[in-house]
Amino acid sequence: MKNRRTVFPSILSLLLIFSAILTGNATKGMRRDEKIDTVQALSYTDAELSSVSDGEEREDDGSAPVGSRLLELIFGKKSTEGSTKDIKLCPGGDTFGVKICGSGVTVSKVVTELSAGILKPDDRIVSIDGQRVSTIDEVKRILNSSGGRALSFEILRGKKTFTENIAPRSCGGEYHLGVILSDGASGIGTVTYYDPETFAFGGLGHGISSHDGGEVLKMTRGTVTGVILGGASRGEASKPGELRGVLTDKKLGTLTANTRCGVFGTISPTAISDCDSRTPIPVAKKSEVKAGEATIFSTIKNGNRAEYKIEISDIDYSSDGTKSFRIKVTDDTLIALTGGIVRGMSGSPIIQNGKLVGAVTHVMVANPTEGYGIFIENMLSAAQQGVQPKAA
């Protein structure tokens, strides 16, 4: 069914990353704005983000996130189990902004010992003095009304819950714990695909984490927003580049799932440049992905979506995660613009032999022209599983 609304050329594109962003400060590359001795709220505006993880993070293979069965896709289409022959989707390549709220307040980083060494990264603060907390603002309110007296913290660490007394310290007229807290995340990423009839979409190719290297953030709600791109910083060895941009307040869609293989939901046609003229293409099975030439769609220069050449190698047909095969940028134009793969390109669709085969997910820290891609099958499987109704 054709979109009947007038579609204006979009300056948007979808990735990051995503680590948490803190109040009133834009951050780059989905990194947190770390301020010593402060407890800050998540900021959902003026964010300069592009991937789920900090670019300085190094995984065992030297990469950093850029973030099957096929039964029913989230947009209601059906296909025979294990078959993709009847599925056609429009490849994305447009950037988008994302804002998600988590299911609680999590310690992202300990920056001083004000909490007497009790709080650790990934700890979730369940309650303070018997009052359950789910946002940073609630934590700040309780701390500032404490007068500095010791408070009883209920803390969830892994699967274990325990209680400890912590006395906040006064600094600058407010009381603090000496940690950075997060209650959500926001950033920039790239749309991998969308259904032209329903505008259900998938992007990033990896999940949004609570903080660098942490588990996928449990999302209570999520919003797709506009983003004004401000260019890209070039990637260099040991210093990944990134798309730079500012999130707008305009809501352009809704996220329904944040999974380890991507984010999924529905997006407005206005977030997709020239969506009326795009032609759906077949979805490739894993077995159809071959070593050799391919292309990606990304939005890098002047907010315009463009196609760039890459090569696929080292295919792991057993992969059910985000690193299904290696990719190498061979396009001179893209290398001149960005140095290769940069944060914010996560989710860029990969096309081979006229089929949608996957998405860009990681960049190699040591060499920004190389990275990883995820099978589109893995993303669609995660989308289908992410919207299945839970048992009563």
Helices and strands in the chain: count of H runs, count of E runs: 3, 21
pLDDT at 71 > cutoff 80: no
Q: For residue 303, which of 98, 67, 96 has the smallest C-alpha distance?
A: 96
- The per-residue pLDDT for range 227-273, each reduced to its tens digit, is 888 888 898 888 888 898 888 888 999 999 999 999 999 999 999 98
- In the chain, the percentage of residues whose pLDDT exceeds 90 is 50
> Is the domain covering 113-177 a CATH 2.30.42.10 domain?
yes
Q: Which of the following is catalytic: 43, 127, 206, 273?
A: 206
Burial class (CB in 10 A: 0-12, 13-18, 19+), 332: exposed
**290-319 b/e (C-beta count within 10 Å ≥ 16 → b):** eeeebbbbbbbeebebbebebebeebeeeb
Q: Which of the following is catalytic: 346, 348, 362, 381?
A: 346
Number of Cβ within 10 Å of residue 273's Cβ equals: 21
What would the mean pLDDT of 138-154 be, rounded to a whole number? 94
pLDDT at 200 > cutoff 90: yes
Q: Which of the following is catalytic: 122, 129, 320, 331?
A: 331
Between β-strands 200-203 and 305-313, what pairing exists: parallel, antiparallel or unpaired?
Answer: unpaired
What is the residue extent of each domain of the chain? 1-104+182-387, 113-177
* pTM for this prediction: 0.71
Copy the structure tokens of residue 160.
Answer: 């274990």
What would the mean pLDDT of 45-68 be, rounded to a whole number? 40
CA atoms of 372 and 375, how far apart (whole Å): 10
CA atoms of 281 and 291, how far apart (whole Å): 20
Cα 79 to chain centroid distance, Å, stands at 28
- The per-residue pLDDT for range 216-238, each reduced to its tens digit, is 877 888 999 988 888 888 988 88
> Is the domain covering 1-104+182-387 a CATH 3.40.50.2300 domain?
no
**Torsion of the alpha carbons at 189, 324, 207 and 356, rounded to the nearest 10:** 50
Q: Is residue 346 flagged as an active site residue?
A: yes
